[in-house]
Amino acid sequence: MRIIGHLENESEARTFADYLYVQRIENQLEFQKDEGWAIWIRDEDKLASATQLLAVFRENPKDPRYQNEGRSAPQLRAEEEKNQEAYRKKLRNRRHLFRPLRGYGFGPLTFVLIAACVLVFLLSHFAMDFQPIHGLFISEYPRSQSLHSMLPEVRHGQIWRLFTPVLIHMTFAHILFNMLWLRDLGSMIEGRQGTGQLAALVLVVAVVSNFAQYFMSGPAFGGMSGVVYGLLGYIWIRGKLDPGSGLFLHPSTVIMMLAWFVLCYTPLLTSVVGQVANSAHAAGLIVGMAWGFLSSLPHR
């Protein structure tokens, strides 16, 4: 901003400022004790034309055209403010789309889970050799048709297998996107409700979603996406029914994730990325939403 000159009379200064604004020259008035009303121009590219207009104005400040044209300045300013507010709202909405992590920090359990997934991915040689991590799959045998003979390793004490499939990822894109969502959603819950709450959610959702996927398609699966959908469902419903919980998801985030949920069932996606653990997604989402609903009841 630069000053193009001064006018002693306040009324004339305001009339000229309005006139400039109508000419699409943004300006600002400032009273200076010794010299009167300073006229500041925001855009330096318009300094020359503004200076020339000021010189013409000084010759005949009572010219009716200044008053006539300046009358539309308030309306133009109101329209400009409305446009600016719409832009700011749009910008806020875009920022909120991936808002969860901001302001919550990086929770310790969230970090440990991400580190564990990355370590398992490295041990599997970037999902090229699963032999070093075979003990993390829910089972090493095809699914039995009989409930009593399912999960033989678990029935013989290897309880961890109900949870550990969430640590296994099949591609670089698979682990990348799951870890980004886990970072955001996990850190929000951990930051607002504590590590214990996140641990309980992850454990229960992991076990239920893993078993659902195993029951529907057998043991050859892995990934954190069932847990991610569980955390999404929990935050979505709990935040909606209990705003005091501090949990929040922008509607665009929910729509995007639900759209992806549906897309995963279509041949279009499976033909590109291969088998998708849709049963784990569905079970995780249902458990998370139910948990969010039930935990909100005492606060309604």
Give me the active site residues, please: 225, 281
CA distance 123 to 120: 5
